Amino acid sequence: MNLKYIEKLEYQTVLEILSKFCITDFGKSLCTNLKPSSNKFEVANLLNETLEATSLILDDKPYISNIPNIDYSLKVLNSNGTLSISSILELTQILKNSTLLKDYFYTNREIENFPIMDSYFSKLYTNASIIKTVENSVIDENTLSDSASSKLSSIRKEQRKLEENIKEKLNHFIHSPTYSKYVQENVITNRNNRYVIPIKDEYRGMVKGFIHDISASGSTVFIEPMTVFELNNELHILQSEEAIEIEKILVHLSSLFVPYTQELEEDYKLIGTLDFIFAKAMYGISSDAILPHINDKKEINLISARHPLIAKEKVVPIDIELGKNFSSLLITGPNTGGKTVTLKTVGLLCLMACSGLFIPAKEGSSIYVFDKIFADIGDEQSIVESLSTFSSHMSNIIEILNNSTCESLVLLDELGSGTDPVEGSSLAISILETFYKNGCLTISTSHYPELKNYALVTDGFENASQRI
């Protein structure tokens, strides 16, 4: 369907609201890029998909967490690179989410009632072994656990003993009668990965050791006393050994994911797709929407239909029937009475239904899957193209006439306005006759009494008026 006409009906605004029900970035992307289908079987499948998701949510909501894009991590794996701890956690989160989703769907449920959703859940890949290994090895996105390897555990144990020894010697230094008067503050700090103590600048020559830093004011120097020099060297060696061991562990953890890059990519997309489908369900529940019936008779029958972008407490529900006894409906009434809103409601609800979204109406409402939906609504005067409002509308209508078929829905607002009333009404009648002969379903609004009279005496046409 032509994006130009979809935008006129504020379809994209509905998608933006829909995306707010999503958790994942992939799901949000599916929402904002959702397009209505003109294939009846695809539309029926999309609506049934939403119906199944709605039934699931009303019973219990699934757990879905936001997952950053994993394209870079997969590229690293495919090029035999090593993942960072945060990337390892992100990939593990995908496996965890897949496990939770499978447990959610396949526990205490009659799966045969959810064939469409089963086709998604059944493809989720899980790996308990990888999850367990990562959980035993990683504390957070910056830290590996001591249990990640026996060597790492041993190195860190030695580090802690050595650090205690260093601090014990420095504490003795700080509080000794000989040196305490030289100390700026009774604290042990770290500079250049070496343990040091703050000494008053005027006493720097009284303490044998290495200066690693000077305070901004210049009143304090940070000295590594000679008594801990060798111990700091030993600690530095252990820290280097720790870094090497951490790199080995990360290489090993990364290798666990290498055989499953395709499965991880598929999981990422499946979780996002399920997030999107459940968002459709939640949007329908939040707007008190219903599953519309899809008919084969090229009819629209909307019962107490509401415009989805108008607050429930303010919107005026409408009943619209078209295609059964007449194919062209003319809506008349005063300005600000709701004629344009009615046009938009019909068009937007048809677009929503054809996108697999439930519609805000009462049970029994039905739509037809049109090949295209056209809308000439609003003032489209173009300064750039030097077109008047009337000329702009005529250009649109010519385009619609050239592209519409007997399977199309045409929505025309204030047809023939912007020119001489007599000429405008005659032109409007000719346009409506053409659409009628072409087999289109047409809804138009007008102030012209001539159009009202025409609809009264012409087969296939019907007058309607808005409720106030």
The CATH number covering residue 297 comes to 3.40.50.300
Q: Which of 286, 312, 347 is the last residue of a domain?
A: 286
Please give the distance of CA 454 from its chain centroid, rounded to a whole number.
49
What is the C-alpha to C-alpha distance for residues 206 and 213, in angstroms, rounded to an integer? 17
Same domain, 350 and 455: yes
Please report the pLDDT score of residue 394 as a whole number: 82
Write out the two tokens for 458: 């012409």
Please report the pLDDT score of residue 381 as a whole number: 39
Same domain, 122 and 181: no
Query: Across-strand partners of 331?
Result: 445, 464
Closest of 193, 196, 216, 195 to residue 204, by C-alpha: 196
Please report the pLDDT score of residue 165 as a whole number: 95
Same domain, 26 and 171: no
Please report the pLDDT score of residue 467 as a whole number: 52
pLDDT per residue as tens digits for the range 113-156: 999 999 999 999 999 999 999 999 999 999 999 999 999 999 99
Number of structural domains in the chain: 3
Place of tokens 């047409």: 442
Q: Give the amino acid at 370.
A: F
Closest of 399, 373, 270, 466 to residue 43, by C-alpha: 373
With a cut of 50, which residues of the chain have pLDDT below it?
A: 380-387, 468
Same domain, 452 and 356: yes
User: Within 13 Å and on the Cβ side, how many CA atoms surround 285?
Assistant: 18
Phi then psi for 127, rounded to 5 degrees? -150, 95
What is the C-alpha to C-alpha distance for residues 43 and 382, in angstroms, rounded to an integer? 36
**Is the distance from CB of 417 to CB of 447 less than 8 angstroms?**
yes
3-state secondary structure 295-339: CCCCCEEEEEECCCCCCCCCCCCEEEEECCCCCEEEEECCCCCCH
Q: Which domain holds residue 227?
A: 150-242
User: Within 13 Å and on the Cβ side, how many CA atoms surround 98?
Assistant: 24
Please report the pLDDT score of residue 386 as a whole number: 39
Same domain, 269 and 338: no
Closest of 21, 267, 265 to residue 120, by C-alpha: 267
Q: Helix or strand or coil: residue 149?
A: coil
Same domain, 281 and 306: no
CATH number at residue 156: 1.10.1420.10
Phi then psi for 143, rounded to 5 degrees? -135, 130
Phi then psi for 81, rounded to 5 degrees? -85, 180
Please report the pLDDT score of residue 2 as a whole number: 74
Same domain, 380 and 415: yes
Please report the pLDDT score of residue 329 as a whole number: 94
* Cα–Cα separations (whole angstroms), residue 53 to 31, 79, 118, 280, 437: 15, 38, 11, 8, 42
Place of tokens 């504490």: 171
Same domain, 10 and 104: yes
**Is the distance from CB of 376 to CB of 414 less than 8 angstroms?**
no
Strand order in the sheet with 300-305: 293-294, 366-367, 300-305, 318-322
Strand order in the sheet with 209-214: 189-191, 194-200, 220-225, 209-214
What is the chain's percent helix, strand, coil content, to nearest 5? 55, 15, 30
What is the C-alpha to C-alpha distance for residues 145 and 194, in angstroms, rounded to an integer? 23
Strand duo 441-446 + 328-332: pairing: parallel
Please report the pLDDT score of residue 250 as a whole number: 97
pLDDT per residue as tens digits for the range 206-254: 999 999 999 999 999 999 999 999 999 999 999 999 999 999 999 999 9
Same domain, 171 and 232: yes
Q: What is the pTM of this model?
A: 0.87
Same domain, 78 and 156: no
What is the C-alpha to C-alpha distance for residues 253 and 260, in angstroms, rounded to an integer? 13
Same domain, 69 and 97: yes
Q: Report which DSSP code applies to 192.
A: T
Q: Which of 207, 242, 277 is the last residue of a domain?
A: 242
Same domain, 25 and 136: yes
* Cα–Cα separations (whole angstroms), residue 52 to 126, 252, 368: 23, 41, 22
- Return the number of other C-beta atoms located less than 10 Å from residue 457's C-beta: 7
Please report the pLDDT score of residue 290 as a whole number: 97
